[in-house]
């Protein structure tokens, strides 16, 4: 590979004058010359190129493999390699924190890190390690289908925080992993801004599900008939192929040992939520009336619950006061609110169940590692960056508080690698 010419300074600490102006000029000069990565010591600053860059191929893997951080021009591969090296040579757990605002490239960065680790490990070609690498990588498409959505900033925005541990054996080869998810944006299930979509899975089923499946789920091919997916008026997105994505998700579900029954349940719950969004209420002389049309029947059938029970759950609430337990009928607005809360809670549980199943599939198989078992891990944290909108809610409070805390940890104890995306 031809020697690459350095542009500006590759490490901000080498700037003659360290102020915002010089920082931005250096960043801009490098970016214009195709250098999207710059270090600040051991922190890697990355600018989203929004175009395919020819810098992640096998030639680059070879260039960065088992090298020291400052031997080569700045690159995210060098960060991945450094954390792998620390973990392997010192047997220490390490962590890579990826932070930046929405659309800056965090999820892509975490995928690049995983692909790099996959490329530099298992030199012995062991079948089991290959299987582990495959399931770790394929878990992404399932998580993205159920946890990502099109927003006005990013067509594939992660709407949850993700911390993934990758476990390694004493040779430094991956043997399993574990995913923790945080704060799924469940409000999106019932409401989307203009130009935005619900979670991808809701559109994938319309485009990719077979005629048979759609019939079973009581769905047509058009999302326009369902309130929970039509509000943003953005079902079709140029950069997204829901049909192919559905196929990819199905392959990944098969690889990750979701049984046929699991997959049926999963899509049944998704469809039930869609129908739930079309359930309507009315009032007749102050009395709440549930419109028991087709949507209501579909929800009961798909969730496999008695219609009477579903009606009670949607129209009444249980109050316990001074030892008495009473049922009180909702007003119309309470019933609508309750229906939406129900949809959000069901989706949140579905997502938790999916992550649990993924964790079962990627868990370290301890019986393979009884004698030599001494695993270390690399954690990759892909979390929402700071958000400031015109109207900020509790979610923004939690996200920003979490980022403040992380920043404090980073300044206080330098125990992890950091990729900052701009």
Ligand X SMILES: Nc1ncnc2c1ncn2[C@@H]1O[C@H](COP(=O)(O)OP(=O)(O)OP(=O)(O)O)[C@@H](O)[C@H]1O
Q: Phi and psi of 408, rounded to 5°?
A: -65, -45
What six digits make up the tokens of 105? Answer: 């490239």
CA distances to 56, 58, 112, 352, 359 from 260, rounded to whole Å, are 36, 37, 31, 19, 18
Supply the minimum distance, in Å, between the C-beta of residue 338 and ligand X.
Answer: 30
For position 57 contacting ligand X by CB under 6 A, the verdict is no
Binding mask 87-116 for ligand X (x = CB under 6 A): -------------x-xxxxxxx--------
What beta strand segments (E) does 108-262 contain?
A: 148-149, 157-158, 161-168, 174-182
Is the distance from CB of 97 to CB of 419 less than 8 angstroms?
Answer: yes
- The reply on whether position 53 binds ligand X by CB under 6 A is yes
Residue whose CB is less far from ligand X, 107 or 192 = 107
Whether residue 310 contacts residue 299, with contact meaning beta carbons closer than 8 Å, is answered with yes
- Min. distance of Cβ 206 from ligand X in angstroms? 22
- Residues 309 and 104: their CA atoms lie apart, in Å, by 46
Residue in 121, 122, 158, 376 binding ligand X, rule: CB under 6 A: 158
DSSP code per residue over 364-412: --GGGGTTT---EEEEEEE-------SS--HHHHHHHHHHHHHHHHHHH
Tell me how far CA of residue 134 lies from CA of 87, 123, 231, in angstroms.
21, 15, 37
**Sign (positive or negative) of CA dihedral 297, 345, 197, 331:** positive
Q: How far is the CB of 421 from ligand X (least distance, A)?
A: 6
- Give catalytic residue positions: 102-103, 107, 154, 157-158, 385, 387
Coil, helix or strand for 348? Answer: helix
65 is in an annotated binding site: no
- The annotation status of 370 as a binding-site residue, yes or no, is no
Give dist(CA 335, CA 308) in Å, integer.
16
How many chain residues interact with ligand X (CB under 6 A)? 20
* Closer CB to ligand X, 199 or 296, in the complex: 199
**Rounded (5°) CA angle 263-266-268:** 110
CB of 36 to ligand X, least distance (A): 7
Pick 26 or 107: Cβ nearer ligand X: 107
* Angstrom distance (rounded) from CA 18 to CA 184: 39
Smallest separation (angstroms) from ligand X to the CB of 243:
19
Interacting span for ligand X (CB under 6 A) from 50-58, 82-90, 196-204, 319-327:
50-58
* Strand partners for 321: 324
**Cβ 8 to ligand X, closest distance in Å?**
19
Q: What is the largest CA-CA distance in the chain?
A: 81
Site for ligand X in 374-403 (CB under 6 A): 384
Residue span 137-156 as binding mask against ligand X, x where in contact by CB under 6 A, dash where not: -----------------x-x
Nearer to ligand X, 160 or 258 (CB): 160
100 annotated among ligand-binding-site residues: yes
In the complex with ligand X, the residue whose CB is nearer, 46 or 298, is 46
Beta bridge partner(s), residue 418: 43, 97
Of positions 41, 49, 57, 91, contacts ligand X by CB under 6 A:
49
Minimum CB distance to ligand X smaller for 107 or for 375: 107
Give the chain's end-to-end CA distance (angstroms, integer). 28
Residues 185-214 close enough to bind ligand X by CB under 6 A: none
Selected range binding ligand X among 46-54, 222-230, 241-249, 310-318, rule: CB under 6 A = 46-54
Instruction: Name the token pair of 288.
Output: 């709440």
Q: Of 44-52, 227-235, 242-250, 397-405, which segment contacts ligand X by CB under 6 A?
A: 44-52
**Binding-site residues for ATP, please?**
100-107
**Binding-site residues, please?**
100-107
Task: Provide the binding-site residues for ligand X, judged by CB under 6 A.
Answer: 48-53, 100, 102-108, 154, 156-158, 384, 421
């Amino acid at each position: 590979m031809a020697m690459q010419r350095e542009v500006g300074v590759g490490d901000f600490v080498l700037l003659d004058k360290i102020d915002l102006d010089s920082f931005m000029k250096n960043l801009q000069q490098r970016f214009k010359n195709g250098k999207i990565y710059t270090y600040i010591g051991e922190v890697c600053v990355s600018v989203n190129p929004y175009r395919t860059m020819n810098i992640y191929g096998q030639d680059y893997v070879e260039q960065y493999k088992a090298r020291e951080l400052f031997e080569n021009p700045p690159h995210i591969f060098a960060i991945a390699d450094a954390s792998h090296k620390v973990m392997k040579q010192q047997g220490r757990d390490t962590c890579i924190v990826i932070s930046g605002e929405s659309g800056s490239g965090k999820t892509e960065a975490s995928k690049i890190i995983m692909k790099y680790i996959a490329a530099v490990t298992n030199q012995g070609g062991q079948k089991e390690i290959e299987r582990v690498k495959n399931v770790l990588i394929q878990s992404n498409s399932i998580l993205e289908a159920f946890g990502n959505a099109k927003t006005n900033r990013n067509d594939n925005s992660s709407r949850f925080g993700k911390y993934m541990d990758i476990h390694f054996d004493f040779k430094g080869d991956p043997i399993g992993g574990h995913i923790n998810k945080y704060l799924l944006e469940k409000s999106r299930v019932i409401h989307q801004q203009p130009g935005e979509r619900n979670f991808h899975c809701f559109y994938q089923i319309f485009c990719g599900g077979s005629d048979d499946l759609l019939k079973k789920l009581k769905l047509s091919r058009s999302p326009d008939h369902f309130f929970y997916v039509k509000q943003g008026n953005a079902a079709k997105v140029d950069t997204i192929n829901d049909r192919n994505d559905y196929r990819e998700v199905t392959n990944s579900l098969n690889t990750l040992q979701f049984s046929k029954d699991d997959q049926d349940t999963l899509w049944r719950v998704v469809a039930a939520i869609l129908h739930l969004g079309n359930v309507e209420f009315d009032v007749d002389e102050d009395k709440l009336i549930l419109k028991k049309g087709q949507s209501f029947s579909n929800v009961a059938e798909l969730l496999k619950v008695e219609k009477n029970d579903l009606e009670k759950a949607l129209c009444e609430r249980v109050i316990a006061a001074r030892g008495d337990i009473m049922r009180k009928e909702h007003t119309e607005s309470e019933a609508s609110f309750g229906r939406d809360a129900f949809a959000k809670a069901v989706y949140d549980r579905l997502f938790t169940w999916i992550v649990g199943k993924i964790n079962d599939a990627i868990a370290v198989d301890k019986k393979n590692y009884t004698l030599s078992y001494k695993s270390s891990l690399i954690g990759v944290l892909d979390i929402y960056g700071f958000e400031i909108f015109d109207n900020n809610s509790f979610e923004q409070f939690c996200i920003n508080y979490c980022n403040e805390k992380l920043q404090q940890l980073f300044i206080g104890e330098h125990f992890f690698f950091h990729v900052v995306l701009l």
